[in-house]
Amino acid sequence: MTTNVIPAGTGDTGPGAVPPPPSGTPARRRPHTALLGFAGLAGLLLVIEVLPHTGLVSARFLPPSSQIMVALAEQLGEAEFWTALGNTLIAWAIGLAIAVVAGIVVGVLIGAVPVLRSITSSTIEFLRPIPSVALIPLAVLLYGTEIQSTLLLVVYAAFWQVLLQVLYGVQDVDPVADETARSYGLGTWARIRHVMWPTALPYVMTGVRLAAGVALVLAITAQLVIGSPGLGSLISRALASNAVPAMYALVVVTGILGVAINLAARATERRILSWHSSMRSEVVA
């Protein structure tokens, strides 16, 4: 499944668009936002701590958060955990890099050549809804439990996130600006560099941010189902051995990874697009 997200501040006025603040109003970070986030997390931990003691949920299936934290501390002291974490991050990083490069190259190529856009539109619409997990049997047949099987799923899922956003960005290029560049004698590469790329870059960064999260989900899913090395494989083994607190501790680690990757992607996006109006006028809630 893919999500069509249009970055704010690029001229669209649909329901998902975020209007910029009035002229002269600086972007402000609300100081209490982080505190509210921590308060919500603390509330969740409290609920998980209390639920098993109420009898509503058996501690066999949902141990108290205190036991999960103890299991997490134990995991942090084991070399196997760090090896699995490294394997997951390697698969995520390699798969994401391949998907980003392929998505940008293919998207710009298709967008720059109208004939290719017409030829490939139906193929893209046919392939992109196919869930990556449906390719697990193919991945196992081709690569078994090696890292290549994880990469196949990660690249397939992340590629569409980047490609679609690049195509949206290319379609958003002002035709007047493109025609003006042609009239000044700019060639195809020069128009891509000076006209198409600046317009498409906010979309590209949105695609990269979405792809980063999807890549992590697919990396862990592949390891969980296929058994390739990584955190997913550790979670599967913890479940099989009835080490429920350790299993939840590993799930917590995957959640922390997801938050860290999202924060890093957003920070990178803000840095690269510091010149863009969507970043200059962004109000962080």
Burial class of 183 by CB neighbour count within 10 A (0 to 12, 13 to 18, 19+): exposed
Average pLDDT over residues 55-70: 85
Average pLDDT over residues 198-208: 90
Where do the structural domains in the chain lie, given as residue ranges? 67-276
CA–CA gap between residue 265 and residue 268 (Å, rounded): 5
Q: What percent of the chain has pLDDT over 70?
A: 84
Helix (H, G, I), strand (E, B) or coil at 238: helix
Average pLDDT over residues 85-112: 93
pLDDT value at residue 174: 78
The neighbour count for residue 113, using CB atoms within 10 Å, is 13
| CB neighbour list of residue 5: distance below 8 Å, 6 or more residues apart | 16, 165, 206, 210
Alpha helix positions (H), 55-172: 65-76, 79-112, 114-127, 136-143, 147-171
- If one looks up domain 67-276 in CATH, what number appears? 1.10.3720.10
Helix (H, G, I), strand (E, B) or coil at 242: coil
**What are the pLDDT digits (tens) for 137-179?**
999 999 988 889 999 999 999 999 999 999 998 888 877 887 7
Q: First and final CA of the chain: distance in angstroms?
A: 28
Q: Which range, 21-30, 31-40, 146-155, has the best average confidence (pLDDT)?
A: 146-155
pLDDT over 70 at 5, yes or no: no
Q: What are phi and psi of 212, to 5 degrees?
A: -60, -45
Total count of residues recorded for the chain: 285
Q: What are phi and psi of 141, to 5 degrees?
A: -65, -40
Q: CA nearest 88: which of 238, 245, 210, 251? A: 251
CA–CA gap between residue 221 and residue 227 (Å, rounded): 9
Query: pTM here?
Result: 0.78
pLDDT value at residue 33: 67
pLDDT over 80 at 214, yes or no: yes
| CB neighbour list of residue 252: distance below 8 Å, 6 or more residues apart | 68, 72
pLDDT over 90 at 94, yes or no: yes
Per-residue confidence band for 254, with pLDDT thresholds at 50, 70 and 90: very high
pLDDT value at residue 103: 94
pLDDT value at residue 42: 82
CA–CA gap between residue 29 and residue 74 (Å, rounded): 37
Least confident of 12-26, 29-43, 172-186, 207-221: 12-26
Residue whose tokens read 């600046």: 198
Query: Could you tell me the maximum CA-CA distance found in the chain, to the nearest angstrom?
Result: 75
